[in-house]
Amino acid sequence: MKKLGKVLLVVLAGTVLCGGGAIGGGYALDPVIELQTSSVLEGSPQELQRQLDSLEGVVDWWDTVAEDIAGGDQWKVVHVGGPTQGPGLELDFQVNGESFEHWTLISSEPGKVVWEVDFGIFKTERTLSFVASGSGTEMTWHERGTMESPLLRWFRFMPTTSLLENFENAMEGLDASVQ
């Protein structure tokens, strides 16, 4: 029985040390994370602006995107506050009735829309900018967030390829929604 107590003590000490190392090491990591990708879309800057800064436009956009990624889940964009267009617009993105993102429109000016996106465990500033480029519009999706939790900061070492692909798919859906 004494031997079992020593084993449990070693396991407990190891767990505390590993947990403490993960938390302490997390504090040493930069809390800011940034991702960015660009794509050329067919829609005009004016069409994209209308889709990105209004309740009706965002609903149309995400209805188009959800057709491709829903996988049987029920997606819904719900107006939860503020005006239906322009800064102050607040939206909840829900899957099967559960909120997974809360968006608040911070600013909207020609060529640029900025949303604060709250994922519950951290927030990002999502800047969607667009400029006429040849026969289309170059759109840039820039995401910048601060991971307050030292444990979340370890996510910076995960591959970002799938996140960037999600942004690109969302931009394609945006383009399709204005056609």
Give CA–CA dist 127/104, Å, rounded: 12
Whether 105 shows a pLDDT value over 60: the answer reads yes
Q: What is the mean pLDDT of the chain?
A: 82
Q: Phi and psi for 171 in degrees, rounded to 5? A: -65, -40
pLDDT band at 19 (very low <50, low <70, confident <90, very high): very low
The dotted CATH code for 31-178 is 3.30.530.20
Please give the pLDDT value at position 177.
87
Q: How far apart are CA 29 and CA 23, in angstroms?
A: 10
- Helix or strand or coil: residue 174? helix
Q: List the chain domain ranges.
A: 1-30, 31-178
| Residue 2 to residue 128: CA distance in whole angstroms | 63
User: In DSSP terms, which residues pair with 74 in a beta bridge?
Assistant: none
Q: What is the pLDDT of residue 18?
A: 47
Joined tokens for residue 85: 């267009």
pLDDT at 95: 84
pLDDT for residue 163: 77
Residue 14 has pLDDT above 60, yes or no: no
Please give the model's pTM, rounded to 2 decimal places: 0.79
| Of 126 and 22, the one with more pLDDT | 126
pLDDT per residue over 38-49, tens digit each?
999 999 999 999
At 123, which amino acid appears?
Answer: K
Q: Which residues, in sequence order, are CB contacts of 39 under 8 Å at separation 6+?
A: 138, 139, 168, 171, 172
